[in-house]
Structure 1
Amino acid sequence: MEDIAGPFRASEAIAAGKISRGRVAGPSVERLFPDVHVLSDQVAGPADLAGRAAEAALYVEGAVIGGYAAAELLGASCGRRTAPVDLVVGRRRVRPRPGLRIRQDVLAPAEIEQVEGLLVTTALRTAWDLVRELDPIEGVVALDALARRGGFDPTELLATVESRPRSRGASRVPEAVARADRRSGSPPETRMRLGLVDHGVPPPVPQLEVCDGEGWFVGHVDLGWEEAKVAAEYQGDHHRTDRDQWMHDQARFAELAGAGWLVLPCTAQDLRFPRAFAKRVLAALAARKP
């Protein structure tokens, strides 16, 4: 008997002869939800949001994955990997379980797509759900990531507001749309942009293309102010701990400097306390004012 890859419904696997009842009850198989099991060495960890979503999808027949888990599966990761998995189950009453959030929303067929064999809410519907739920910063973070990956204009959410004005949290959507920019390359870049603008920095251009004095392409910067030739670049931990990434960054910064650009690095600490970073950016813009 071959091992089963990934989570499975025990009743179906036993009926198909893929596993015995004895083994299901044994130590090599872990029970996740009623009738949902997985081999013990394949259990998704708390930080594996996509893996936990695949496990949860078997709990309710026909359930649709939503929220941060849907964003993860759509390739628009934008929240905590340890976030609970949202299951959209329609009007059915389903007992909640640890790590799951049961939502009794009714989805239109156009709001559902299939990813790796799993039913998930589309990028636009996922954005509608998350923006209405999250705080003003994280709502824009989710909208940027989903609009970029899903290829839709954030303003498309305004039509949903008009058709569903009484939906909980709908009043949060227009502000998020006004602040969204799907050119943003990552959630930290969106947080950096919003933190700067909220502290008086003129709006930058996300993923700005930089050329040298002869018009040759140099690269893209996370955020750029073209007239002043100032850029802000988010530097996550891997930029420091990965030697190849660090060497790549140094060569890139040297090329930008050769083209007359000043690059200001932004760290996770700067995202938590954006005022000081905003002051540095404002000083650089003032010093390099054309």
Structure 2
Amino acid sequence: MPRQSLPQHLGGSFAVRAARAAGVGEGRLRGRDLVSGFHGTRSIAVAPDDTMPPWGREAAELRRRIDEYRTAMPDGSFFIGPTAAFLHGLPLPLGVQKSIHVGVRHPRTASRRGGVDGVQIMPRMVAVTTIDGMPLTDVATTWASLGRTLELYDLVAVADAILRVPRHPGGFRPPSGPALATADELAARLGSGRWHGAKMLRAALGRARTGASSRPETWIRLVLTDGGQPEPVLDHDVVGPHGEFLGCSELAYPRERVAIEYESDGHLTRRQLERDIDKYTAYSAAGWRTIRLTHSHVFRYPGELVRRVDEARRSSSV
């Protein structure tokens, strides 16, 4: 017998009560093509796309769960912590999104629903905004709320992403927009109440910078400085002997002419590969040495990262 079609207006995720109101029976709500991450909600099951990288699959699944929870989200609640950070597009490590993080203002009771990490927060400590109609904490509150979940380096990485002023390499055009928030705004939010992990949050804010454009770049900077190296310059424009623009490097030691490049999956396309070859050839001709790093160097073998940079800096000083 053909499966009953669901009313189109329910979409891919819906509340059970909305489905019942639309005439969907109990048997259909138990259909094998539906999944339920939370009591009183359903989503149409979607097979995972094995061609996507792990972070892409995690993001797609998280977005599905957020959309499903949103259909039955209690009035007055809002997304917070890692869930809000995801919706703001802030960088997070894999594996921190096991639950949907939902906040309420005191004295309301935090959610104890399965699959939800409920957080009760004092009203003076939180500011709420919306994205696509979904209530969530603003970026300053979101960052402060991550002290419950993240370690130091990733708290710095999120702060870096918030403080970054988007810049066009070479300075040929003005910045494309302001930072998401200022350091003063982050400090003010941190001072608004008693945040979990406040000591580490304060340390992270002290180490945050405005020039990092990715989580790996933040980690490289922190690994190097904690490994005894001077702090590298971020987002550095490299110029040739006649002042011509050769390229922009994510991190650099300009005095020693050492550039540090993180090679993400985006560097594997033919077009980007050709650009990289031309860029590094021009760097070499101008007397620059380039240290190229991958995910393994940064997150699995940080000692090797420090060794390579230290060697390059010492060689350039000879």
Query: TM class by shorter-chain length?
Result: 0.7 to 0.9
Contact (CA 8 Å) 2:147, 2:195: kept in 1 or not?
A: no
Shift of 1:132: 5.5
Deviations 1:3-34 (A, max 9, x none): 7433111212442x385555333333323322
| Structure 1, unpaired ranges of 5+ | none
**3-state SS in 2 of match to 1:89:** strand
Cross-structure match for 1:31: 36
Match of 2:65 in 1: 52
163 and 72 in structure 1: CA distance in 2 versus 1, 3 angstrom threshold: closer
User: Is 1:231–2:237 an aligned residue pair?
Assistant: no
- Is residue 2:86 matched to residue 1:72? yes
Q: Secondary structure at the match of 1:73?
A: helix
Please name the residue that 2:45 is paired with: 40
Partner SS for 2:317: coil
Check 1:220–1:8 CA distance in 2 against 1; reply closer, same or farther (3 A cut): same
Match of 1:274 among 286, 299, 302: 302
Match of 2:17 among 11, 21, 31: 11
For 1:262, the equivalent position in structure 2 comes to 289
Q: What is the aligned partner in structure 1 of residue 52 from structure 2?
A: none
Shift of 1:42: 7.9
User: Among residues 111, 114, 132, which one is paired with 1:94 in the alignment?
Assistant: 111
Farther off after superposition, 242-251 or 179-188 = 242-251
Of 141, 146, 154, the match for 2:183: 154
- Identify the residue that residue 209 of structure 1 maps to in structure 2: 237
Residue in 1 aligned with 2:169? none
Which whole-Å CA distance do the structure 1 matches of 2:228 and 2:37 have between them? 49
SS in structure 2 of the partner of residue 32 of structure 1: coil
Contact kept in structure 1, 2:238 and 2:249, CA below 8 Å: yes
Deviations 1:35-74 (A, max 9, x none): 2111223899655333322223334323211222212211
Indicate whether 1:185 and 2:199 are aligned. no
- The alignment-based identity, stated in percent, is 27
Task: Check the 8 A contact 1:112/1:122 in 2, yes or no.
Answer: yes
2:158 pairs, out of 133, 142, 147, with 142
- Matched residues in 2 for 1:39 and 1:211: separation? 53
Mean CA deviation greater in 137-146 or 39-48: 39-48
Aligned to 1:209, the other structure's residue is in SS state strand
Specify every segment of 5 or more residues in structure 2 that has no aligned partner in the other structure, as ranges: 1-6, 50-56, 166-178
| Contact in 2 for aligned 1:153/1:182 (Cα 8 Å) | no
3-state SS of the aligned residue for 1:128?
helix
RMSD of aligned alpha carbons: 2.8
The CA deviation at 1:214 is 2.1
Q: What residue is the counterpart of 1:125 in the other structure?
A: 141
For the residue of structure 2 that corresponds to 1:114, the secondary structure is strand
Deviation at 1:124, TM superposition (A): 0.9
* CA separation of 1:180 and 1:72: change in aligned 2, threshold 3 A: same
Task: Describe the SS at the equivalent of 1:269.
Answer: helix
3-state DSSP class of the match of 1:163? coil
Q: Is the 8 A contact 2:110 2:119 kept in 1?
A: no
Structure 2 distance, partners of 1:114, 1:46, is 22
CA distance in 2, matches of 1:146, 1:186: 11
Number of aligned positions between the proteins: 286
Contact 2:235 2:251 in 1 (8 A): yes
The letter for the 1-side match of 2:145 is D
The letter for the 2-side match of 1:145 is A
Q: Aligned-pair distance for 1:145? A: 2.1
User: What's the TM-score once normalised by structure 1's chain length?
Assistant: 0.86
User: Which amino acid letter does the alignment assign opposite residue 23 of structure 1?
Assistant: R
Contact 1:46 1:52 in 2 (8 A): no
Amino acid at match of 2:208: A
Q: Structure 2: how far apart are the matches of 1:33 and 1:119?
A: 18
